[in-house]
Amino acid sequence: MLLVTFSPFRILQVFVIQLFLGIFFLYIASLILKRDKKRLNVILSSMFIFVFIGVIFNVIYAFLEDVFIIGILTRITVFFLFGAAVFPVVFNLILLKSEKIIDSKKQFLIIFGYLALVFLALLIPGGIIIEPSNDYVPQWSLELLLVMIIASIVYTAIPFIYTAWKINNKFEDDELKKKWKYYMYSMPFYHVNAVMVSLSNHLNDPNFRLMWNAVALILYLIAYFIYYGVGKQIDKDR
C-alpha cells in the first residue's frame, strides 16, 4: 500500500513546497491566536488552519497506492483548501457590518453554506480520476473543474474583493489603510492560486504543475502579508 520511491519532482512538490507551506500557515495561525482569541482572531486564523489540514492530508495520500483511500483523502484535501477561502469573507463582513449584524448564526450559515457547496461538488460522479498508470496522481474532470472555479469565484473571491474595497474606503487613518491594502491585495492571489491549482489538476501536466508550484511559493509572502495587514491589528483596533 505504500509507495517506496518518489520522483525528484514529487519530493519537491509534496515535501518541500507543500508541507513547509502548510507548517508556515499553521505558524501564522498560532501568531494570530496568540495575540487574542476573540471571534475575529478565530475566524481569520481558521483560514490558515484549514490550509494546514488540507496540506497534511495531501502529504498523507502521496504515500499511498490504494485508489479508494486516495480518492477519499484527495476530497478531504480539496475540501479544506477550498473551504479556507470563506473565512476572510466572514472576517470582512464582521468588520464592515459589526458582530451584532453579522452574528454567530449568520456567520455559521455563510461558512456552512460554502462548505456544503464544496462538499457536494466533490461528490460529482467521476469528478476525480485516479489511475495506477498515472502514478496515482488525482486528475479532475472538466465538470468538477468548472463547478469548483465558479463556486470559488462567486462565493468567496467576488464577495472578498467587494467587502475589502468597501472597508478600505471607510478608513480615515492612513497607516491603517496602508496596512489593510497588504491584506486586500494579497488575498485575491489565494483565489488565483485555487483556480490555477484546479486547472493543473484537470490538465495533469507535470510541466504545468511544476511551473505553478514554483509560482505558488509566493503564498509564503501572501500569508505573511495577511498577518501583517490585519492579523497584527485585530486586538488593537477592534
Burial of residue 161 (CB within 10 Å: 0-12, 13-18, 19+) is: middle
Whether 86 and 111 have beta carbons less than 8 Å apart is answered as yes
Percent of the chain predicted with pLDDT > 90? 62
Instruction: Check pLDDT > 70 for residue 7.
Output: no
pLDDT of residue 5: 54
| Stated pTM of the model | 0.90
The four Cα atoms 197, 198, 204, 207 give a dihedral, to 10 degrees, of: -30
Q: pLDDT of 199-216, one tens digit each?
A: 999 998 888 887 887 787
> All domains of the chain, ordered by start, with CATH?
8-237 (1.20.1070)
| pLDDT band per the 50, 70, 90 thresholds, residue 14 | confident
pLDDT of residue 4: 39
C-alpha to C-alpha distance for 205 and 211, rounded to whole angstroms? 10
| 3-class secondary structure, 4 | coil
Q: pLDDT of 36-83, one tens digit each?
A: 889 999 999 999 999 999 999 988 888 888 899 999 999 999 999 999
DSSP H helices, the chain, are 8-11, 19-35, 39-61, 67-83, 86-97, 104-121, 142-152, 158-170, 174-203, 206-215, 219-226, 234-237
